[in-house]
Structure 1
Amino acid sequence: MGKRRRAAERKGVGGVRNTKVHPGVLGGAAAVVVVGVGAAAFALSGGAGSDGDGSSVDEKQVATGPPTAAEVRTTARAFLTAWAKGDVARAAALTDDRAAALTSLTSYRKDGHLTKPRLTPGRRAGATVPFKAAATVSYEGKTKPLSYASELTVVRRKSDGRTLVGWQPSVLHPELKRGDRLVTGEAGDPPIKAVDRDGGALTAAKYPSLGTVLDGLREKYGKKAGGKAGVELRVVRADADGKSASTSDSASDSATDSASAKKKDDAKALPDKTLLTLSPGTPGTLKTTFSGSLQAAAERETAKRQRASVVVVKPSTGEILAAANSNPGGFNTAFQGSIAPGSTMKVITSSLLLEKKLAGVDKKHPCPKYVTYGGWKFQNDDKFEIKGGTFRASFARSCNTAFISQAEKLENDSLTRQAQEVFGLGRDNWSIGVASFDGAVPVQSDAQMAASLIGQGGVRMNPLNMASVAATVKSGKFRQPYLVSPDVDDRELATAPRALSGSTAASLRELMHYTAVAGTAVEPMSGLGSDMGAKTGSAEVDGQKKPNGWFTAYRGDLASAAVVQEGGHGGDSAGPVVRAMLLAGG
């Protein structure tokens, strides 16, 4: 082996001194894997296993443990070389999921029209090898270069000890997830020029958090906005089952059935994404409800924090004025998050207790240190208690036991029906203009039902949902949030079967106002006037050192909610985000 290695080094095949280019042929054009100065060096023989790559496995001695540095280098080099040469069968055989890799690698050229791949590996970090990819996108006489960075990780197969590339679609391109494809051709959806409520242009460059939102708006309204499609390379997303969608069904074709449109909106967690435009289309103009000034403020506030998300809505209409996330290119937690809302849920629970006469704003209400229900022992933060206190005091201090103590007087589905019938939550029928999660308050029993009363258990919300809750309290009636007027596509907005009674709405506003001036929300709401109210929340999550911090509030005709995951107390983490929104709005 030593003689073969030295011979190989003299020929420039392996070793750190190798700076030669190894050409291959793909579609009649040169394709290369480059290993330059400063990059990891790879040997072409040994370590990558069998299946036609020139190596074999000793059946008597199966290697175990993490791949060695040499194995990582060799396996990665073999895979990249095969991919660059267009030998997709061999490249797929060098992965731990041959069938999936073969499908994706074949589609890379066939559907993506990507040729002449040039793959340049970087410095290995453990079992992971980053690399730069450069290819040419060619379609009907139109050609453009594409460059991007990706990475692969080498794993060891337990059955035979062979080292292989751990297959993920993101190896081909970092935007790809399971079932996604790269497709070049005439875009299924014409481009749009989205504008805010005042006619200002909305772009991902100016408002990073709107990237996925704008992609989603294009999918649904590209054809309706009157634009003309161009030729693009784009990521065609798979549906919720991981099945790749066709290139012609990415837009909602009918607006007459809002439930059907809603399901289609939510079939994909992320909308299709344009990576490269070979020839631009003609965009149609789409007016949204966003406020440019509020969106800018939301972007600034979330950018200051880790894992923060915020939404602002207009209670009198339901219009969405702003939405932002700390990770603007990732999952849209503001609209699609599914997270326990903690004590902000007590707004909904309080409406239930008030309607059932199980609580009154200034009536005596128990707030002991502990309450046991369904076999669980519940307690308050820092195990505080309020002796001889009222429901107003319990709400303002966010006393958990004040709510858990009423569980035995409620039916298992009481909270579910209240959330659905009054606040419009958990009915899976919102149609805001892009994909959204409409909240979930499942019917539960025993301890889980009790935990739901304080926003734990199976309850799941996001900032859009909780901003809507505050808006419903302010206006007294649920109005489905939306960011594109239903007049654009004649869709029907969701409604709630019943509104809050006048007395219940007034009591809730009184409770939230008192919390803002004398309770846990004092600091974030200080100096915001008299027409305002708020509720703090924190939600424990298994495996997290700190709970998720929540805050929801209204001021005048603005309502906002924010979550800072692992932020701790809501008043300290999410509260300042909401305060900034309420100030920015007027």
Structure 2
Amino acid sequence: MGKRRRVAERDKQRSKRGPLVIGLVGVVAVGGALGAYTLYGGDGAAAEDRTSATADHKSVKTGPVSATEIRTTSTAFLTAWQQGRVTQAAAATDDSAAAAKALTGYTKDAHITGVTLTGGTRKGATVPFSVKGTVTYKGKSKPLAYESRLTVVRRAKDGVPLVSWRPSVVHPDLAEGDRLVTGESGTPPVKALDRDGGELTAAKYPSLGTVLDGLREKYGKKAGGAAGIELRVVRKAAKKGADKTPDKTLLTLSEGTPGTVKTTLSPSLQAKAEQRVLTKARSSVVVMRPSTGEILAVANQSHGFNTAFQGSLAPGSTMKIVTSTLLFEKNLAKADKAHPCPKTVKYGGWKFHNDDDFEIKGGTFKGSFARSCNTAFISQAKKLKDSDLTATAQRIYGLSMNNWAIGVPSFDGSVPVQSDAQMAASLIGQGAVRMNPLNMASVVSTAKTGVFHQPYLVSPSVDGRSLAKATRTMSSSTQGQLREVLQYTAAAGTAAEAMAGLGPDDGAKTGSAEVDGQKKPNGWFTAWKGDLAAAGVVQAGGHGGDSAGPIVAALLKAGS
């Protein structure tokens, strides 16, 4: 009788809190987070594990977490979270302070109530779960639903299984330092327009989600709109001198009045770019106008991060455009003059190779560039200062100065001063050199026109901002030679297959960048056709001519 009375009393208390739906377990977990009693159809496994741990407290359990531990820990955490027991839920994680702060803010700042958590089928130690709740603010309410996941790990010091705490457990869009907030949005919405006056939406152009967030962040208050009430991700403050990642709206409780911002995007090229990146996984591309710097299209196959504008990747042999500029300016190479391309070259204690250790005997620099001979560039490292490549990138190409103002957050490339083998590696786009498709589209544009025009998505006339400028232009001799080697590469070099039929006013460069732990290199391609320039990368795509090349060439053809 006493046992039945205790069970009835426990069930009575549970009914007051409301049911927890946990699909992966199928039962209700009650009690404190780590001390939860969970029933598993009578197998007794959870009780046995717990008894073993308490019977010999000096014993520290090691190895992967078991299925029982995953069920017990995840259920305890989700139970406590759903029931609003923040302290217990946080105690079930490996960072209780951070978890408590986030879960408290979930109710206090995000105003999310009536939460129901439903677990899914675990995969390894990771448990997916769905979240349903209600967002309420100043008399306005809307339902909220999304998917998230958690991972159970073993704490090293005592072997206790815990939820590995990440902000993304609370919501998948949260990163370290971000917060969920519901209220009158600090920034009014904007209606973004293409260059022809048509509206740009993420529904029509999926790649523009982050771009539209960035436009709102920068122009919302300037465009004349009025803020609405929203649940949004408020991003952490940016480091000094860096662009803050735009806040993201998750749910709109009441619409604000949008202001209008016109962009330089071409609706036809944007639509084509969206289509082309779907042909290759992890691909990104940018199209721009060399004569003005106007950005005409930007697309990423994956829409979670804008790699095209904000990526930071080694550009591989596409960087040889900048290096060639340096060599031409210092009279260390001439397009039509003989230039060494041995199988290997040693510098700074490293041995540098060409693809398949090929060599060109008695060839010209133009031939080495077109075939992407690494040693033709590394062989000149001993004649260069450590700062030479950095100076060329900054002064002629406007890179690596952190001063571009395109209208939304962007990464302006990085070409740090290096020495010894790392300096040599940077000459062929490896080492610490980092770029993205926006940067490389700008590089080929500068090579084509001889003058750096900072890329931009919103005209500076909209807000009076200043665009970055190069401190000097390349010589006419250098420009002529650059055009010659790029045109030859498009006609008879590694870019010829992708660029077939686009001549005569065209030029291109391929690239492949090795990445540690990655089976295939990142494939790069940058090219111009008339007054269009484009650059693309396919991460882990292999040779740039085969992976990124068809994407870039198709866009140049479409815009011609």
Query: Which TM-score applies when normalising by structure 1?
Result: 0.89
Give 1:244's aligned residue. none
Cα contact 2:390–2:417 (8 A) shared by 1: yes
Aligned twin of 1:34: 21
* Match in the other structure for 2:197: 199
How far apart, CA to CA, are the structure 1 residues paired with 2:472 and 2:558?
Answer: 32
CA shift, 1:370, in A, is: 1.3
- With over 3 angstroms needed to count, the CA separation of the structure-2 counterparts of 1:224 and 1:7, relative to structure 1, is same
Shift of 1:11: 7.8
The partner residue of 1:134 within 126, 132, 135 is: 132
Match for residue 254 of structure 1? Answer: none
Gap change, CA 1:554 and 1:203, over 3 Å in 2: same
For 2:172, the aligned partner's letter is: P
Q: Helix, strand or coil: the match of 1:486? A: coil
Q: Which moved more, 1:152-161 or 1:500-509?
A: 152-161
Match of 1:575 among 528, 549, 553: 549
Q: Encode CA deviations 1:276-304: one digit per residue, 9 max, x unaligned.
A: 10000011110001111111111111112
Instruction: Provide the C-alpha distance between the structure 1 equivalents of 2:284 and 2:324, rounded to a whole number of angstroms.
Output: 25
1:313 aligns with 2:288: yes
Pick aligned residue for 1:549 from 506, 523, 543: 523
Q: Does 1:118 align with 2:116?
A: yes
Q: Would you say the 8 A contact 2:137–2:183 is kept in 1?
A: yes
**Compared with structure 1, are the counterparts of its residues 7 and 516 closer, same or farther at alpha carbon in structure 2 (3 Å cutoff)?**
farther
**Conserved 8 A contact 1:32-1:84:** no
Give 1:50 shift.
4.6
Quote the sequence identity (%). Answer: 66
2:180 maps to which of 173, 179, 182: 182
User: CA offsets per residue over residues 411-440 of structure 1, 9 Å max, x none?
Assistant: 111111011000001111101111111111
Name the SS for the 2:458 alignment partner: coil
- Number of the residue aligned with 1:521: 495
1:168 Cα deviation (Å)?
Answer: 1.3
Matches within 5 A, 1:386-465: 386-465=360-439
Question: Which residue number corresponds to residue 42 of structure 2?
Answer: none
SS in 2 for 1:570: coil
Q: Find out whether 1:505 has 2:457 as its counterpart.
A: no
Aligned positions, number: 546
Q: CA deviation at 1:13?
A: 9.3
Question: Aligned partners of 1:21 and 1:40: how far apart in 2?
Answer: 21
| 1:240, distance to aligned residue in structure 2 (A) | 4.3
Contact 1:196–1:292 at 8 Å: present in 2 too? yes
| Structure 1 residues 21 and 33, CA gap change in structure 2 (3 angstroms) | farther
CA RMSD of aligned residues (A): 2.5
The equivalent residue for 1:285 is 260
* Distance of aligned partners of 1:88 and 1:548 in 2 relative to their CA distance in 1, 3 Å threshold: same
Partner of 1:147: 145
Residue type at the aligned position of 1:267:
K
**Partner SS state of residue 149, structure 1:** strand
Q: Within the alignment, does 1:354 sit opposite 2:333 as a pair?
A: no
Letter paired with 1:569? H
Cross-structure match for 2:29: 44
Amino acid at match of 1:111: D
Supply the AA of the counterpart residue of 2:315. Answer: P
| 8 Å CA contact 1:416, 1:442 repeated in 2 | yes
Letter in 1 for 2:415: V
Deviation by residue 1:18-63 (Cα, 9 ceiling, x = unmatched): xx995454xxxxx541246xx4334636996359999885213333
Q: Which residue of 2 aligns with 1:69?
A: 67
Q: 1:90, CA displacement in angstroms?
A: 1.3
The CA deviation at 1:163 is 2.0
1:267 aligned to 2:244?
A: yes
Q: Give yes or no for contact 2:20–2:28 (8 Å, CA) kept in 1.
A: no
Alignment correspondent of 1:106: 104
Residue 475 of structure 1, aligned match among 449, 459, 463: 449
- 1:377 matches 2:351: yes
AA in 2 matched with 1:298: A
Query: Could you tell me how far 1:130 is from its partner in structure 2?
Result: 1.6
Partner amino acid for 1:301? Answer: R
CA displacement at 1:177 relative to structure 2? 1.3
SS in 2 for 1:425: coil
Q: What is the aligned counterpart of 2:277 among 285, 299, 302?
A: 302
> What's the counterpart of residue 247 of structure 1?
none
- Counterpart for residue 255 of structure 1: none
Alpha-carbon distance in 2 for matches of 1:12, 1:526: 79
**Which amino acid letter does the alignment assign opposite residue 201 of structure 1?**
E
Shift of 1:501: 1.4
What is the aligned partner in structure 1 of residue 220 from structure 2? 222
Counterpart residue identity of residue 40, structure 1: V
**Is residue 58 of structure 2 the alignment partner of residue 60 of structure 1?**
yes
Q: Residue 249 of structure 1 corresponds to which residue in structure 2?
A: none
Whole-Å Cα distance in 1 between the matches of residues 181 and 353 of structure 2?
Answer: 55
Structure 1 residue 339 corresponds to structure 2 residue 313:
yes
Q: Offset at 1:221?
A: 0.3
Distance 1:98 1:375, change over 3 A: same
Q: Identify unmatched segments of 5+ residues in structure 2.
A: 39-46
**Structure 1 24/70 Cα, relative in aligned 2: closer, same or farther at 3 Å?**
farther
Contact 2:33 2:88 in 1 (8 A): no
Map Cα deviations across residues 107-143 of structure 1 (whole Å, 9 max, x no partner). 0010001111111222233322221111111100101
Q: Tell me, what secondary structure is at the counterpart of 2:461?
A: helix
Corresponding residue for residue 28 of structure 1: none
User: Residue 503 of structure 1: CA displacement?
Assistant: 1.6
The residue identity in structure 2 corresponding to 1:120 is: T
Report the equivalent of 1:257.
none
Distance 2:294 2:37 in 1: 61
Residue identity opposite 1:407 in structure 2:
A
Deviation at 1:332, TM superposition (A): 1.1
User: Match for 1:577: what amino acid?
Assistant: I
Is residue 210–residue 324 contact of structure 1 (8 Å, CA) maintained in 2? Answer: yes
Contact persistence 2:487–2:506 (CA under 8 A): yes
Contact 1:134 1:146 in 2 (8 A): yes
- TM-score where L is the length of structure 2: 0.93
Give 1:225 deviation, angstroms.
Answer: 0.8
Structure-2 change in CA distance of 1:533 and 1:163 (3 Å): same
Letter in 1 for 2:285: V
Which residue pairs with 1:17 in the alignment? none
In the alignment, the residues of structure 2 paired with residue 217 and residue 99 of structure 1 have an alpha-carbon distance, to the nearest angstrom, of 35
Instruction: In structure 1, list runs of 5 or more residues that go unmatched.
Output: 15-19, 26-30, 242-259
